Amino acid sequence: MNKRILLASRPEGLPKEENWTLDTQEIPSVGEGEILIRNHYVSLDPAMRIWITNVKSYLPPVGIDEVMRAGTVGEVIESKNESHPVGSFVSGWGGVQQYTLSDGKTMYSVDPKLAPLPTYIGSLGMPGMTAYFGILQEGQIKEGETVLVSGGAGAVGSIVGQIAKIKGCKVVGIAGGPEKCQYMKNLGFDEVIDYKNEHVYKAIRKTCPKGVDVYFDNVGGEILDFALANIRMHARVIICGAISQYNTNDIYGPKNYLNLLNKRAIMKGMLVLDYAKDYRKAAMEMGQWMMQGKLKTKEDIYEGIENFNETFLRLFSGQKKGKLVLKVIE
């Protein structure tokens, strides 16, 4: 049988158990050109909170009683598709379920001998690609610049900071609590800011005395405002996410946006989907950095599809480091 998580209702504020249905159905049969994937791991990402609201976004909202959208990695156990034979491993949009029936067109092959499977939905998956293209293509970082990253201990932010270090930048990371701050230091961040125990505006002034050249934002809200107040001339502000705003209807807008004018700076949103054709090239370079020990990866793995909502909420409580992953294979 195939256990699935369906969207039962749209949440107000933080998602609750009643917003989901744990459904069980027979494993679907494989048709011509199709593959059946036994999912091992499901990717849990802040963007999933956006996808379950009934508002226009870069992807259509997940429908009521539909399988919750999510990235997955798993093994092909039945195949009528020459591109994905039985025994091969694939990653793609498999959803929060134990088995996925696919035509294979949205799946790409991965090799568990080259990297652990969870890495393909972490550093070598959407979070890693977001970090790579966000800081290099959108941020246009240059050696010697100062890069400030919010959510610096998260799946995207931790990779952003490390890539910026590889490229010769000074990196300052923002996260909540001593443990996460120590984690950023272990990754090689030059300075860290604990937003739970420091005044962020003052801390940015202290750690970035000449100002911020590139601010990579994963959280939005007041921290974005503090960063805008400290940007340098011709700074780049990259809006990747706003996790502090996803569970509220009272959105906090930046008050210091006029500093973009004063500093002739740019604030731009970015979506990793725009770079899909270049994923393989980026993965190869990031894989080399990993083998050289320049890029460290961490997956925070929890087990059981029945524990989906409890695990999903760790994205918003901060009770995780690195990439949040749910193991669904039994």
Q: Please check whether residue 256 lies inside any domain of the structure.
A: yes
Are 96 and 172 in the same domain?
no
Q: Cα–chain-centroid distance for residue 124?
A: 11
Q: How many CB atoms lie within 10 A of CB 143?
A: 7
Q: How far apart are CA 19 and CA 12, in angstroms?
A: 9
Are 180 and 212 in the same domain?
yes
Which residues form the domain of 31? 2-122+297-327
Are 58 and 184 in the same domain?
no
Q: Which two tokens stand for residue 306?
A: 């029945």
Q: How many CB atoms lie within 10 A of CB 31?
A: 10
Question: Among 260, 200, 262, 190, which Cα is nearest to 226's?
Answer: 200
Are 93 and 203 in the same domain?
no
pLDDT for res 144: 98
Q: How far apart are CA 72 and CA 68, in angstroms?
A: 12
Q: Specify which residues 78 forms β-bridges with.
A: 36
Interval 101-123 mean pLDDT: 94
Query: Per the structure, how many domains does the chain have?
Result: 2
Are 160 and 117 in the same domain?
no
pLDDT for res 264: 98
Interval 283-307 mean pLDDT: 95
pLDDT tens digits, residue range 205-250? Answer: 999 999 999 999 999 999 999 999 999 999 999 999 999 999 888 8
pLDDT for res 322: 87
Q: Please check whether residue 39 lies inside any domain of the structure.
A: yes
Are 8 and 131 in the same domain?
no
Are 83 and 141 in the same domain?
no
Q: How many CB atoms lie within 10 A of CB 182?
A: 15
What are the residues whose beta carbons fall under 8 Å from the beta carbon of 188, sequence distance 6 or more? 161, 162, 165, 171
Are 135 and 109 in the same domain?
no
- pLDDT higher than threshold 90 for residue 291: yes
Q: Please check whether residue 159 lies inside any domain of the structure.
A: yes
Q: Any idea what the CATH number is for the domain that residue 260 is in?
A: 3.40.50.720
pLDDT for res 321: 83
Q: Which two tokens stand for residue 188?
A: 């090689």
The values of phi and psi at residue 21, to 5°, are -125, 125
- pLDDT higher than threshold 90 for residue 319: no
Are 117 and 141 in the same domain?
no
Are 21 and 155 in the same domain?
no
Are 149 and 245 in the same domain?
yes
Q: How far apart are CA 324 and CA 291, in angstroms?
A: 22
Q: Please check whether residue 286 lies inside any domain of the structure.
A: no
Q: Please check whether residue 139 lies inside any domain of the structure.
A: yes
pLDDT for res 37: 98
pLDDT for res 320: 87
pLDDT for res 277: 93
Are 93 and 217 in the same domain?
no
Grade residue 18 by pLDDT with cuts at 50, 70 and 90: very high
Global pTM value: 0.92
pLDDT for res 169: 98
- pLDDT higher than threshold 90 for residue 40: yes
Q: How far apart are CA 77 and CA 90, in angstroms?
A: 11
On whether the CB atoms of residues 71 and 45 are closer than 8 A, the answer is yes
